[in-house]
Amino acid sequence: MLTVKQIEAAQYGKSPMRLSDGNGLYVRLNKGGSKIFQLRMTCAGRS
């Protein structure tokens, strides 16, 4: 489970480039300091 504290503390270059909650939700870290949420799903074998 990904927490608010983990997301706020994550920094580009010091943390993994992508943090996962384990259920398909990711937070991607960018060089400029921005953080983007990404949802990855699979349906009928396709991403």
Give pLDDT tens digits for 26-45: 999 998 889 999 999 999 99
- Predicted TM-score of the model (pTM): 0.75
Q: Does 33 map to a domain?
A: yes
pLDDT more than 90, % of the chain: 60
- Mean pLDDT, residues 9-21: 89
- Mean pLDDT, residues 4-14: 90
Q: Does 13 map to a domain?
A: yes
User: Contact at 8 Å (CB) between 36 and 46?
Assistant: no
pLDDT value for 26: 94
Q: Does 22 map to a domain?
A: yes
- How many domains in the chain? 1
Q: Does 26 map to a domain?
A: yes
First CA to last CA across the chain, in angstroms? 22
pLDDT value for 6: 92
pLDDT value for 27: 93
Domain range for 16? 4-39
